[in-house]
Amino acid sequence: MAAAAVQTALHTPVPAIRGVKTTPMGKPKFQLPLQRPLPPAAYFKSPFDPFKHLAYHTMPARHTMADIGLENQGISTIGVSEPFELFTPEAVCTMRNEVLSDEVWDNCRFSSSIAACQLRGMAPQYAKFVYDAWSNPETLRIVSEIAGVDLVPVMDYEIAHINVSVNDNPDGENQAAPVVNWHRDSYPFVCVLMLSDASEMKGGETALKTGSGEIMKVRGPQMGSAVVLQGRYIEHIALPSTNCRERITMVTSFRPKNPIIADDSQLLTVRPVSDLSEIYNQWTDYRVEIAEERCKSLIKGIREKKRVGRDFDVDGVKGQLSDLIKFLQKTHDEIVDPAQYQINDSEEEREEQASTRMKKRARMT
């Protein structure tokens, strides 16, 4: 394989992610989370400091894609990690204050058929500390080391996506709704950080669907801890929890740092819960930049072969050009006019029924 060719050794294309129906958010049906934040001036006293705010110390246990029955899929051999300490209590407190502020709640709140309440697109405008935390080279080194491949945030809009689930009767038998229903992510990797006190939480594991259709569970993280998941290629759900008032998780999505590695990102699940103007701008920016880097790599390889007197590699060059065309076509296809984006109700109902069956199976295992 030519050096400039898109890397596909582990990569197998995944099925298209099902559509997501947006529901009007309006005012939340539940009370705002406990421990409401202070005014910004009262908590943002210093920028993110990796020596002060990172709590990571030991490589966690990891499950490979082969362990999950999905060998040779994805961009890494690593499928999911067990929970690991990532941020200190002080860092988590600052993050909560930023992402649960009134300005975020008022300007960045969405709801859809797979999640009742999501906060998206607040960094860096409304969440500078959060943005700096996930952009810091040491944080990226930790996440990449656990994932088994060098990663960077997909784009600013996908830094610190917040999922909120509230249980109005934490002492009773009723369960809080799943934070997010069964799904595959739109992007290759995610790092999911717990922002709630989960010390007495019952349930709340992440359930994964293996290649054989069985359910595998990974225990949920505690406050300040996280899990890394190759979520684009593994169908998963955050199971309901009891004995807790709230469950708030922060999800940052990642793509390969190396532009030559295959990137299966798409917007199907996030398009309905996004500011389309902003996410389309950032999507186009990063995708065209990757295409540019691949073009540079291609022409560099062609010139080098010519310089040393080698024949023109017809099949190799045409293969790389075909990959570029597919990549740009995917970039184009994901930019959908909102007026043209519709979800068939009957299809949505079938997906909901299938999701309900999977939830029951996950709880019984």
Residue 4 domain-assigned (yes or no) = no
Residue 20 CB partners (closer than 8 Å, separation 6+): 112, 113, 114, 268, 269, 271, 272, 273, 343
pLDDT tens digits along 207-251: 999 999 899 998 888 999 999 999 999 999 888 777 677 889 999
Q: Which domain holds residue 340?
A: 40-364
Q: What is the CATH number of the domain that holds 235?
A: 2.60.120.620
Q: Is 191 exposed, middle or buried (0-12, 13-18, 19+ CB in 10 A)?
A: buried
Residue 125 domain-assigned (yes or no) = yes
Residue 87 domain-assigned (yes or no) = yes
pLDDT tens digits along 119-174: 999 999 999 999 999 999 999 999 999 999 999 999 999 999 998 887 766 555 55
What whole-number distance in Å separates Cα of residue 60 and Cα of residue 55?
A: 13
Q: pTM of the prediction?
A: 0.83
Residue 205 domain-assigned (yes or no) = yes
Residue 222 domain-assigned (yes or no) = yes
Q: Is the peptide bond before 124 cis (omega within 30 degrees of 0)?
A: yes
What whole-number distance in Å separates Cα of residue 250 and Cα of residue 241?
A: 17
Mean pLDDT, rounded, of the chain:
83
Residue 99 domain-assigned (yes or no) = yes
Residue 24 domain-assigned (yes or no) = no
Write out the two tokens for 328.
């740009």
Q: Do 298 and 320 meet the contact criterion of CB atoms below 8 Å apart?
A: yes
Judged against a pLDDT cut of 60, whether residue 348 lies above it is answered with no
Judged against a pLDDT cut of 50, whether residue 3 lies above it is answered with no
pLDDT tens digits along 255-303: 999 999 999 999 988 988 899 999 999 999 999 999 999 999 999 999 9
Structural domain total, the chain: 1
Neighbours of 88 (CB within 10 A): 15
Residue 54 domain-assigned (yes or no) = yes
